[in-house]
Amino acid sequence: MTGTTRILPVRTGSSRSARAEALDCILEESTTVSITKFARWKIFWRSPIGLAWMGLILSLAATLIGLQMLLTSTKSNDSSLLGMDLEAQRDYWLSTYQHLQSQNATTMLIPESPQWQALQWLVTADPLAPLQGERLVQRYALACLYFHWDGWLFSTAAAGWMDLVQQAAVSSDGMVTVVAPSEGEPVTTRSRVPLHECQWLGVTCNDQDQVVGLDFQSASFVLAGMVPTELGLLSHLTVLDCAGKSLVGTFSVALPQLQHLNLKGNRLNVFQETWGAWTNLETVNLAENRFEGTLPGSTLAQWTKLRHFDIHTMPVAGNFWQDVVPHWPLIEHIDISLTELSGTIPEVTADGPLSRLKSLYASNTPLKGTLPASLTAATGLIALQLNDITGLTPSSLPSEIGKWTKLETWGLTSPTALMGSLPTEIGLMTSLRELNVYSNRGLNGTLPTELGHLKELQILKVCYTDLSGTVPDEIGTLKKLKDVQFHQTNLVGTVPLGLCSGSLNVLAADCATLSEGIAPQMKCPLGCCDCYV
């Protein structure tokens, strides 16, 4: 104890000497002080301040070790950074690392990681170095994508990412040898490779040379595995197309400017709550992935600019029609076929959600309620497919269907969807190419002669309904018909001769003989029908 005179006790009558007693006392106190100091340091290093200091020390040590490894592994390669002496190169390496680290690029110093390889390429092999600021971050992000996906294969001489860029930089004429795979022998060509990233295959930039689009649909790009977070460094990205690849896991990249996203046909399996921040999205295709569970309605509801949504063929559930659709006032295309998305199609008002609808595909879904008559307010509708749905409540077709003058495909094959007859206003739907009301047992009445106005009609399926009467001769005047199915109905009489003289691939009717002495329900001239009992 500093500044204090210590008086050591001496025990009388003891067999031990006073010196020994004094030494024991000193050792005891020293041990207590040491333990106390250790405990205090232990508490300090576990405190937030201590952890921050430890992180700073480790970060500095990792930086120094990593940069030294970069220097050691690349000191013989000085093809880039032309005109820079060794000290200038080291300064560039350090400034590059520090700038990228400030952008949350935190794994650059793990040897052989994609981030490590990207940094190494930037500071030792990039023919456009030195770069700085946003341009440096952009080029680093693209390099990370390349190395993360193991340097994807190319099938075109217009490629030009990383290795080809480096080859072109050291080539005397800027030309490189590109080997393109083919069905026979690989094709070898000499090609000029662009050095600027805005000219690389699949990359689109704006007038400020900022990357705004990545199109990886080409077979040149072999993408598999997780999506690297460095993709989020492309802060101006508005278009991302990774359809038909093998991406797995989650997609947790922050892309606030994204407008068009196509991830169809991958293996992604987790919805992210952070997707709600993508408020500029206009088109989204998540179809044929491996998402499951409940669709995060509150997240998707924030995509208020959405026009196109496709998530077909996935076992996702949720009350889609009530929790999500009312928040999409601009929606034009919906495809939720082969999902478990449920609910009732809401009423449609002028300029409200679904009023701009052009196509709706919801086949094989647990759709409930009735098909609202107000859906005819969507006068721009081109395709309506609601096939194989068992939960609908029967309703009559309104006369307002005549407003669907642009409708080309109409499929409504639910056993319980329709009742009543086909309105004569169906003749106003002059763009119609397919009319399929297969299996609607509640559909009755006669076939309207106005069907003869549908000159573009190619497919007409009214089988397995309770339609009655005869087939109007006007249908026989439709020259583009390819598939006509009248069987398993209450239709009688003779099939129009015009159908037999046309170029039909399928013409089915109830023209088989039931038993001896009993005439078939329908007659088919020239024997041109596939006859059913």
Q: What pLDDT tens digit does each residue of the chain (533 aa) get? A: 444 433 334 444 444 454 445 445 434 544 454 445 545 555 655 566 665 555 555 555 555 555 555 555 444 444 445 566 777 777 888 888 888 888 765 667 788 889 988 988 888 888 888 888 999 999 999 999 998 988 775 545 445 577 778 777 777 777 777 766 566 676 777 777 778 899 888 899 999 999 999 999 887 788 889 999 999 999 999 999 999 999 999 888 889 999 999 999 999 998 888 888 899 999 999 999 999 899 999 999 999 999 999 999 999 999 999 999 999 999 999 999 999 999 999 999 988 999 999 999 999 999 999 999 999 999 999 999 999 998 899 999 999 999 999 999 999 998 889 999 999 999 999 999 999 999 999 999 999 999 999 999 999 999 999 999 999 999 999 999 999 999 999 999 999 999 998 789 999 999 987 766 688 899 998 889 999 87
Residue 26 burial (CB count, 10 A): 11
Question: Any idea which residue has 């508490």 for tokens?
Answer: 43
d(CA 522, CA 509): 7
Sequence spans of domains, the chain = 48-148, 155-200, 203-531
Length of the chain: 533
Cα 181 to its chain centre, rounded Å, is 28
So what's the pLDDT on residue 59?
Answer: 53
Locate 471 and state its tokens: 């087939």
Q: Tell me the residue type at 323.
A: D
Q: Which residues of 241-266 are buried (b: 16+ CB within 10 A; e: fewer)?
A: bbebbebbeebebebeebbbbbbbbb
Q: Which residues pair with 369 in a beta bridge?
A: 392
248 and 228 Cβ atoms separated by less than 8 Å: no
Residue 320 DSSP one-character state: H
Question: Which among 99, 73, 204, 226 has a CA at the least distance from the CA of 142?
Answer: 204
Options 3.30.70.1140, 3.30.70.330, 3.80.10.10, 3.30.390.30; CATH of 203-531: 3.80.10.10
203-205/211-215 β-pairing: antiparallel
3-class secondary structure per residue, 487-532: CCCEEEEECCHHHHCCCCCEEEECCCCCECCECCCEECHHHCCEEC
d(CA 365, CA 83): 66
The SS3 of residue 213 is strand
Q: Report the number of secondary-structure helices (H) and strands (E) in the chain.
A: 9, 29
So what's the pLDDT on residue 4?
Answer: 40
Locate 299 and state its tokens: 């997240």
d(CA 42, CA 162): 48
316-319/340-344 β-pairing: parallel
- Rounded to the nearest 5 percent, the helix, strand and coil shares of the chain are 30, 20, 50
Q: Which residues of 466-498 are buried (b: 16+ CB within 10 A; e: fewer)?
A: bbeeebbebbbbbeebbebbbbbbebeeebbee
So what's the pLDDT on residue 216?
Answer: 92
